[in-house]
């Protein structure tokens, strides 16, 4: 079964950093673009960041630009999101999601279970 | 990167049809045929039901269909069923490796 497992969430103070990971299994990870999408409690989905199959194309939402960094290690079938200068409004369930294509088309066909990030003092 | 605009809620009786609109701009929905739709049940991850405006992934019933005109995309659900009651989100590629989601629509089956 094609699977994405996100981890690394937790409770963190404002201004601190956190690194999320997403482990992929049973699909050709290095052939697809990957994304992070978040959902604040009781709110809608928000696209956060994406990375193409070969790291050649990276994009960020304006709300996280300059604070978050997306990366991937195709040898380890893993996607990462380094989050710094965290704010209370970054509190959300963070999903990793697979694109149907190698470049970003924002068609997310596989989703992880999500990892919760809570930013609070 | 403004969120795409969807109606907050739509409703219909079993067997009826409903349509959800997704209004964007010439920078996202109007510029690319990379509009997708997602169904989300409470406490669950979203599920892809339409991609590239009109395409359905394997296993998604033909009752779900997508379309686009100008800067507005639409999702139609025909033959409404009880388990169609969920939240629905549109999404679009927005250029330079970025994306945007819609505000979300709650579908209620009366």
pLDDT digits (tens, 9 = 90+) for B34-53: 999 999 999 999 999 999 99
Q: Cβ contacts (< 8 Å) between B89 and chain A: which residues?
A: 44-45
Please give the DSSP secondary-structure letter assigned to residue A26. Answer: S
A111 touches chain B (CB under 8 A): yes
B8 touches chain A (CB under 8 A): no
For residue range B5-18, what is the model confidence (pLDDT) as tens digits? 999 999 999 999 99
Q: Cβ contacts (< 8 Å) between A46 and chain B: which residues?
A: 3, 101
Distance separating alpha carbons of residues A47 and A13, to the nearest angstrom: 23
Q: What percent of chain B has pLDDT over 90?
A: 97
């Amino acid at each position: 079964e094609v699977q994405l497992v996100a981890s690394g969430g937790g409770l963190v103070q404002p201004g601190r950093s956190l690194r999320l990971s997403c482990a992929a299994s049973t699909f050709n990870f290095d052939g697809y673009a990957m994304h992070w999408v978040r959902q604040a409690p009781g709110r809608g989905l928000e696209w956060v960041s994406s990375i193409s199959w070969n790291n050649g194309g990276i994009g960020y939402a304006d709300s996280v630009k300059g604070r978050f960094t997306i990366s991937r290690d195709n040898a380890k079938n893993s996607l990462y999101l380094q989050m710094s200068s965290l704010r209370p409004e970054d509190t959300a369930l963070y999903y990793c999601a697979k694109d149907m294509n190698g470049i970003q088309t924002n068609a997310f066909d596989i989703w992880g279970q999500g990892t919760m990030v809570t930013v609070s003092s | 990167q403004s969120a795409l605009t969807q109606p907050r809620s739509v409703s219909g009786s079993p067997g009826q049809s409903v349509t959800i609109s997704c209004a964007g701009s010439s920078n996202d929905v109007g510029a690319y045929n990379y509009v997708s739709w997602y169904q989300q049940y409470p406490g669950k991850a979203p599920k892809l039901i339409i991609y590239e405006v009109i395409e359905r992934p394997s296993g998604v019933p033909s009752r779900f269909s997508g379309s686009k005109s100008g800067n507005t995309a639409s999702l139609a659900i025909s033959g409404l069923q009880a388990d169609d009651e969920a939240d629905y989100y549109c999404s679009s590629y927005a250029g330079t490796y970025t994306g945007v989601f819609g505000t979300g629509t709650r579908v209620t089956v009366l």
